[in-house]
Structure 1
Amino acid sequence: MRRRKNKFLTESTDDPIALVANLFDVSMVFAVALMVALVTRFNMTEILTQEDFTMVKNPGKENMEIITKKGKEINRYKQNQTKGKSNKKGKRVGTAYELESGEIIYVPE
Structure 2
Amino acid sequence: MKLRLQDAGDDADDPVLSLVNLIDVFLVIIAALLLAVAKNPLNPFSDEKVTVIRKAGTPEMEVVVKDGRKIEHFKGDGASQSAGRGVKAGTAWRMPDGSLVYVPD
TM-score scaled by structure 2?
0.49
Greater relative contact order (CA < 8 Å, ≥ 6 in sequence): 2
Give me the TM-score of the superposition, normalised by structure 1: 0.48
